[in-house]
Chain A
Amino acid sequence: MAQHRMSSETARTAAREIGRLTVLRLTAYYVMVGILIMCLSALLPLGSIGPIPAEPPADMQGAIEWFKGQVAVFPMGAPVWLDALFQMIAAFLLVLPLAFVYVRTRTRVKFDHSLVQTVIVLPIVVTAILVVVRDSLALAFSLAGIVAAVRFRNTLKESGDAVYIFGSIGIGFATGIHAISVAGVLSVVFVVVELALWKFDFSAEFERTFARLCLPSSADMTDVPGYRDEPAPAGNGAGQAHPDRDGAGRSALLRIYVDQVDAARPKIEAVLERDAKRWMLEQIVAGTGNTPQLTYRVRAKKSVGLDALREHLLRDAAPHVVAADAPES
């Protein structure tokens, strides 16, 4: 009997919902951080500001400089420690959304709590190092020497985690050289791209990715295997996935309670062969003291749906099957 294989990543799409509230919160957060950084920039101008005229100049740039001079706490340039503190705060604020996205997009198995802390602290440290090094070639060489002498080795759980480390370093680097706007752009772009890739589960299935990238937009996608499972666009609310709309509700882990594994299995697999697009046996529980169970990863056919598939299992594999539970639902 042909046994279709399905990656566990595909089955996880059931939970890949980005609520409108999440998008709004992130947007509001970035707006608030932007305003805060602009206020801090006005209060603590970086570099010297020349003599401040009594009246604002007519040109816009001059007027902004004049305004900065008026509200500046340190009009002749902030002390180094204050400058460093300001940049570190900016690095911290801009890296928090990365940590949020990491937590949001990882499963319990792949989640690494120490990496979340690393992602948050790393840009602060990088900023501090860059503030110390500044334009000194000697200090830069010393730093290179120290880094070469100390061996930093750590195995990441996921190769994708390295991207967060690099993103974090990038933000720290940008804030460390006073390029806070670049750090802001990096943070926003990183968050948007990571959430989009996660949401659409990009490249998880060859057929869908191929259809999206290689076929003309006018092509009839219904003939492409897997393309009918296109997830709904992001930001469609935090409601439950609708099986007919995005296919997400058709994937599940099914725990099937049976009387005898050997007798039930052929009947169950006949139903799956008929009603499931893909399925894979994951676990068999049998033996004295256990209620016999068969656990399958299943993706129901669109024309059938998961609920109907469970009903068919109860009906067509009776009396061997007494329950078909979807414990992740």
Chain B
Amino acid sequence: MSTLSPPVSERDHVVGPADARVTLVEYGDFECPYCGALHPVVQAARKSFGGNLRFAFRHFPLRSSHPHALAAAKAAEAAGEQGKFWEMYDRLYRRQTELTDTDLERHARELGLDVDRFRGSLGERAHEVRIREDLASASQSGAKGTPSLFINGEFYEGPLEREAIFAALARAALAVVP
């Protein structure tokens, strides 16, 4: 079974308490329809597990099949620079058909970001480096496609359905003695 490498650290985009019983990591692509379908499940899991769940997101843009995926990942990073990574993440998944450069700027404006700063930030090398690091970690962890999930560091191989994912998360949480 594949293991997450490197483990979740401060460099990751994380939401949820550090002492949560279960950590869920998603390797995702904002243009991937399967990731889009998984998004509401992840949101529901965050709500249902509350403080028992910590969620981390790593970029895995499939540039060969999704022409806007890399730009969307950079947009999320640029929004993160202004403290709104998760707002942009949520918006990009909800509007997967609106990922052109014009759309990304509109998303930034509607999220209340400084658009000039956002525009300048899109081309920053630091974001590209970070995305490349995420891609390298995906390869290192054995993630071959999107979405790939890791629950408490272990690759999740089950179906991407709410009930199955929730059951796996619950099993992982119960395996940890609080």
Q: Footprint of B on A, CB under 8 Å?
A: 255, 257, 259, 291, 293, 307, 310-311, 314-315, 318-319, 322-327, 329
> In the complex, given contacts A257-B166, A325-B166, what are 12 additional A-B residue pairs having Cβ atoms less than 8 angstroms apart?
A257-B167, A291-B167, A291-B171, A310-B50, A314-B49, A314-B51, A322-B21, A322-B174, A323-B53, A324-B48, A325-B48, A327-B163
Task: Indicate whether B162 reaches chain A with its CB closer than 8 angstroms.
Answer: yes
Asked if B178 and A291 make an inter-chain contact with CB atoms under 8 angstroms apart, the answer reads no
Whose C-beta in chain A lies nearest to the C-beta of B172? A322
Number of A-B contacts (CB under 8 A): 53
Residues of A within 8 A of B50 (CB): 310-311, 314-315, 323-324
A225–chain B nearest beta-carbon distance, Å: 30
Task: Indicate whether B44 reaches chain A with its CB closer than 8 angstroms.
Answer: yes
User: SS class of chain A's interface: helix, strand, loop or mixed?
Assistant: mixed
C-alpha gap A311/B53 in the complex (Å): 13
C-alpha gap A257/B162 in the complex (Å): 13
Asked if A323 and B49 make an inter-chain contact with CB atoms under 8 angstroms apart, the answer reads yes
Asked if A323 and B171 make an inter-chain contact with CB atoms under 8 angstroms apart, the answer reads no
Q: Which residue in A310, A315, A318, A319 is a CB contact (below 8 Å) of B48? A: A310
C-alpha gap A255/B162 in the complex (Å): 12
Task: Indicate whether B52 reaches chain A with its CB closer than 8 angstroms.
Answer: yes
Task: Indicate whether B173 reaches chain A with its CB closer than 8 angstroms.
Answer: yes
C-alpha gap A74/B167 in the complex (Å): 70
Residues of A within 8 A of B173 (CB): 257, 322-323
A257–chain B nearest beta-carbon distance, Å: 4
- Contacts A/B (CB < 8 Å), 30 sampled: A255-B166, A257-B167, A257-B174, A291-B167, A291-B171, A307-B47, A310-B48, A311-B50, A314-B49, A314-B51, A314-B52, A318-B178, A319-B178, A322-B22, A322-B49, A322-B52, A322-B173, A323-B45, A323-B48, A323-B49, A323-B50, A323-B166, A323-B170, A324-B48, A324-B50, A325-B44, A325-B48, A325-B162, A326-B48, A329-B44
B80–chain A nearest beta-carbon distance, Å: 26
Q: Footprint of A on B, CB under 8 Å?
A: 21-22, 44-45, 47-53, 162-163, 166-167, 169-171, 173-174, 178
C-alpha gap A311/B48 in the complex (Å): 8
User: SS class of chain B's interface: helix, strand, loop or mixed?
Assistant: helix
Asked if A327 and B162 make an inter-chain contact with CB atoms under 8 angstroms apart, the answer reads yes
C-alpha gap A314/B162 in the complex (Å): 19
A232–chain B nearest beta-carbon distance, Å: 24
C-alpha gap A326/B22 in the complex (Å): 19
Residues of A within 8 A of B22 (CB): 322
Residues of B within 8 A of A325 (CB): 44, 48, 162, 166
Instruction: Among B45, B167, B178, find the residue whose CB has the most chain A CB atoms closer than 10 A.
Output: B167
Residues of B within 8 A of A293 (CB): 170
Whose C-beta in chain A lies nearest to the C-beta of B22? A322
A59–chain B nearest beta-carbon distance, Å: 60
B119–chain A nearest beta-carbon distance, Å: 33
Residues of A within 8 A of B49 (CB): 314, 322-323
Residues of B within 8 A of A318 (CB): 178
Residues of B within 8 A of A315 (CB): 50
Q: Which residue in B21, B47, B48, B170 is a CB contact (below 8 Å) of A291? A: B170
Residues of A within 8 A of B166 (CB): 255, 257, 323, 325
C-alpha gap A255/B166 in the complex (Å): 10
Residues of B within 8 A of A259 (CB): 174
Whose C-beta in chain B lies nearest to the C-beta of A314? B50
Whose C-beta in chain B lies nearest to the C-beta of A285? B167
B31–chain A nearest beta-carbon distance, Å: 27
Once A291-B167, A291-B171 are accepted as A-B contacts, the answer to whether A310 and B47 lie under 8 Å apart by CB is yes
A314–chain B nearest beta-carbon distance, Å: 4
Residues of A within 8 A of B163 (CB): 327
Residues of A within 8 A of B178 (CB): 318-319
Residues of B within 8 A of A327 (CB): 162-163
Whose C-beta in chain A lies nearest to the C-beta of B50? A314
B169–chain A nearest beta-carbon distance, Å: 7
C-alpha gap A210/B77 in the complex (Å): 57
Residues of A within 8 A of B162 (CB): 325, 327
A267–chain B nearest beta-carbon distance, Å: 14
Residues of B within 8 A of A314 (CB): 49-52
Asked if A322 and B51 make an inter-chain contact with CB atoms under 8 angstroms apart, the answer reads no
